[in-house]
């Protein structure tokens, strides 16, 4: 039985809900807080003439107490995870088979795709962040600079939400599906001050700036890994073409066959095997790197209040 006093304000309700969800994934907490605040403020606004405490008491039977809402979110989250869970292949008994099981994991391919895509997203995020901050600073002395800054931060947060959903689809790491609720109506300058004080404003901008060097590193790693492993895989084919008299055409076209012992027929299966091993290792590395990056993204993009840090 819950002996906690019934909340008499929306802020008190949200604080109790946050406490009831303590220890849960910060992304889940952010979604729950958004949904609750959106519903409660809409209900209070629709009951004009009634005190906030009276409205909360009135809707308690329909929406539920904070601990009941928290329990419902936990149950829903467990069901959603079970429904979206990617079936894993049956674990192999031997280490060698476990090593090659990565070929059966769709997340390995999507992670490798994300590493290749990160060069484009990194350039986009970096350009948006640097340009937006530069223009905002340049227009700060003019009245138009403040609304421009608000629009810029709104665009950044929307793109950050999309980045989180992309990472969740690729890696399975839980990311927010709702933004942080803007809260009650505030004056224009109060809204600006809140954005400036919000740590998530600056961590999100920092994430966008850091995505350029990270994107370059991820892209370089993925391309280098693919190039080396595919070169080993292609070596037997190139050698075979050279032995069939296609060597001159390949040389004229800019592809040079390495002479000597590297072209020995008995070594060609070894080069192919090395190529397979390198490509398999690349898939493992891509999957692990994407998981690490998704946790870094959660640290930078999820609201600090949802994580219980402020």
User: What pLDDT is attached to residue 131?
Assistant: 94
- Do 273 and 210 fall within a single domain? yes
4: CB partners within 8 A, 6+ apart? 16, 66, 67
Give domain status of residue 2, yes or no: no
How far does the chain reach from its first CA to its final CA, in angstroms?
29
User: What pLDDT is attached to residue 84?
Assistant: 61
- Do 149 and 274 fall within a single domain? yes
Q: How many separate domains does the chain show?
A: 2
- Do 80 and 150 fall within a single domain? no
Give domain status of residue 152, yes or no: yes
User: What pLDDT is attached to residue 1?
Assistant: 47
Alpha helices in the chain (DSSP H): 10-20, 26-46, 52-63, 66-84, 95-100, 106-138, 145-171, 188-197, 199-241, 247-252, 268-301
3-state secondary structure of 289: helix
Distance CA 64, CA 83 (A): 25
User: What pLDDT is attached to residue 309?
Assistant: 40
Give domain status of residue 61, yes or no: yes
Q: Are 239 and 257 in contact (CB under 8 A)?
A: yes
- Do 197 and 71 fall within a single domain? no
- Do 121 and 234 fall within a single domain? yes
User: What pLDDT is attached to residue 293?
Assistant: 96
Which of 42, 64, 84 is the last residue in one of the domains? 84
Which of 84, 103, 136 is the last residue in one of the domains? 84
- Closest by CA to 166, choosing from 124, 229, 223, is 124
Give domain status of residue 19, yes or no: yes
Domain range enclosing 35:
10-84
The reported pTM is 0.76
- Do 173 and 244 fall within a single domain? yes
Other beta carbons within 10 angstroms of residue 218's beta carbon come to 25
pLDDT along the chain (310 residues), means of 10: 70 88 88 87 81 77 82 84 62 71 90 95 95 88 82 89 92 84 67 76 93 96 94 76 55 48 66 89 95 93 58
Which of 84, 102, 133 is the last residue in one of the domains? 84
């Amino acid at each position: 039985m819950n002996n906690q006093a019934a909340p008499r304000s929306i802020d008190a309700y949200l604080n109790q809900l946050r406490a009831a969800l303590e220890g849960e994934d910060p992304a889940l907490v952010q979604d729950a807080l958004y949904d609750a605040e959106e519903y409660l403020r809409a209900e209070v606004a629709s009951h004009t003439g009634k005190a906030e405490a009276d409205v909360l008491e009135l809707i308690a039977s329909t929406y539920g107490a904070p601990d009941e809402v928290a329990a419902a979110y936990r149950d829903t989250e467990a069901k959603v995870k079970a429904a979206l869970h990617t079936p894993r292949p049956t674990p192999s008994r031997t280490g060698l088979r476990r090593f090659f099981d990565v070929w059966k994991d769709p997340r390995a391919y999507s992670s490798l795709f994300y590493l290749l895509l990160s060069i484009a997203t990194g350039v986009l995020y970096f350009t948006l962040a640097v340009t937006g901050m530069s223009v905002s600073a340049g227009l700060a002395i003019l009245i138009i600079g403040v609304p421009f800054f608000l629009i810029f931060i709104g665009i950044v947060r929307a793109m950050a939400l999309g980045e989180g959903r992309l990472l969740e689809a690729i890696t399975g790491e839980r990311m927010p599906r709702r933004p942080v609720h803007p809260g009650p109506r505030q004056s224009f300058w109060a809204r600006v001050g809140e954005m400036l004080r919000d740590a998530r404003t600056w961590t999100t901008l920092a994430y966008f700036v850091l995505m350029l060097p990270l994107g370059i590193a991820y892209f370089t790693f993925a391309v280098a890994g693919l190039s080396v492993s595919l070169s080993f895989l292609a070596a037997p084919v190139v050698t075979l073409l050279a032995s069939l008299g296609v060597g001159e055409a390949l040389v004229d076209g800019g592809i040079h066959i390495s002479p000597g012992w590297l072209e020995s027929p008995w070594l060609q299966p070894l080069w192919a095997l090395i190529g397979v091993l390198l490509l398999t290792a690349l898939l493992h590395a891509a999957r692990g790197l994407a998981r690490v990056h998704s946790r870094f993204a959660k640290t930078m993009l999820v609201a600090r209040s949802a994580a219980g840090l402020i």
